[in-house]
Chains A and B, each alone.
Chain A
Amino acid sequence: MIGIINANSGNLGSLINAFNFLNIEIEIITESSQISKFKKIVLPGVGNFVSLKKNLVDLDLYNGLKKFLNNENNFFLGICVGMQILLTKGTEDKETDGFNFIKGNVINFNDIKRMKTPNINWLNIQKKNNSQIFKDVTNTEFYFLHSYFCQIDDEKLILAKANYNGVEFPSVIKKNNVYGIQFHPENSRSQGLNILKNFSNL
């Protein structure tokens, strides 16, 4: 049973449809008391680092999730902003603290060089190793939609990279059993579904 955080900041519908299609049991988490029920949690997110953080705090989910992350036996999947919030700091709108579970900052592509944002593209990811999360994933094209990306201090945590306009950035990261995915697996055809399936099989 996988718990999916509803922090009013994500497109839950898509993700729910995906898990249902895969016949994977899910439950929506809206209260902190539910968190301890799960060994596997997914944090989806489109939109805004600031609003995701705020919503998690307002809904009293923030601290519970922080504890969840620090338990090495738990499995976590953060998607898009859900991945970015794992880092130390976000710089969208104003500087905001993330979970600081993985050291690094979230910055805008334009901080590196001037370019069109958001990055809305199907991009190939370059796998750095053959993690379980990539099992059966032969087509490596995934759907990205973001203006910010993670700058991670520890290269070893990066499972896959991607490239937008000459800027290389992490597309899949992992620390312990916590995974972060910058693209949207729920919108990335069967290869995306495989990622979700693999996560549920971990």
Chain B
Amino acid sequence: MRIIGKIEIKDDYVIKPIQFEGVRKIGNPEDLINNFYNDKFDEILIMNITGSLYGIGWIKDFVKKILKKTFIPVTIGGGIKDVDNAKEFFDVGVDKIAINTNLMNDFSLLNKLKNEFGSQSVICSIQANKINEEWFAFTNMARENSKIKVVDLIEKYTKEGTGEILITSVRRDGTLSGFDEDLVNLFLQYNKIPIIYSGGIIMDDAIKLKKYSLDAITVSSSYYYKNFNPTEFKKNLITHEI
């Protein structure tokens, strides 16, 4: 299981929303990413979480700086709208791009990115919220209900082909309340493409997660506030693994 350190940025700061709301500043992106790297996270995910919502593009100097010394895969997401936009990031050493809102507004973006950069460089991101017993995909920092069911979207992305799918539980994100078992059960039946789970992960989840075989998870709040340690976590997972 890959453990991905996630930071959410807005402007020059790292912020930590809860349930995708609130933009409380918590630190400096360079410092936090250095910490993730030194503490042996497998990958980094940098989300310009307000990118689509504010409609302001980004390519920050700190991204370039970080990439010069962070030798694990780095994924960038948030408001990426076209091939040129993506190229700016790949050129400086980003490995993967995550897309959601702009993809939902125009599905042809997936093929355009795949054709230019290869399918393994694209992550289709889903912000999942449960409304009246059904899981729906949201956009714009989880503010707009696309009215498309999460399962339909997973099938669609699987059929089209993409590197990975990132699924975030909006109601768990930032809450330090553990992973969303309901959501995980929903997507585990789709086993064709690697799926990254995001939202609410804490150290104690290692015990519960033993019976699931997740490909990858993201960790954010748990690292900032609760001493999440990837090496420890993996140890606790393994004491059961198939």
Binding site for B on A (CB under 8 A): 9, 11-14, 16-18, 20-21, 46-48, 51, 116-118, 120-122, 143, 145-147, 184, 186-190, 192-193
Contact = CB atoms under 8 A, between A and B. Distances in A.
A16 B90 CA distance: 12
Given A11-B121, A116-B194, 16 more contacts: A13-B67, A13-B90, A17-B67, A17-B69, A46-B118, A46-B121, A47-B119, A116-B193, A120-B215, A120-B216, A143-B42, A145-B73, A147-B120, A184-B73, A188-B71, A192-B71
Given A13-B67, A13-B94, A14-B95, A118 B72 contact: no
Nearest to B89: A13
A9 B116 CA distance: 8
A192 to B, nearest CB: 6
Size band of the interface chain B makes with A: 20 to 34
Contacts of A48: 118
B194 A11 contact: no
B68 interface: yes
B92 A13 contact: yes
A148 to B, nearest CB: 11
Contacts of B163: 118, 120, 145
Nearest to B69: A21
A187 B95 contact: yes
A196 B90 CA distance: 20
A112 to B, nearest CB: 16
Contacts of A193: 71
15 contacts: A13-B92, A13-B93, A14-B95, A16-B93, A21-B68, A46-B120, A116-B191, A117-B193, A118-B120, A120-B215, A145-B73, A146-B120, A188-B72, A190-B71, A193-B71
Given A9-B118, A116-B194, A118-B194, A14 B215 contact: no
Interface in B187-224: 191-194, 215-216
Contacts of A118: 120, 163, 194
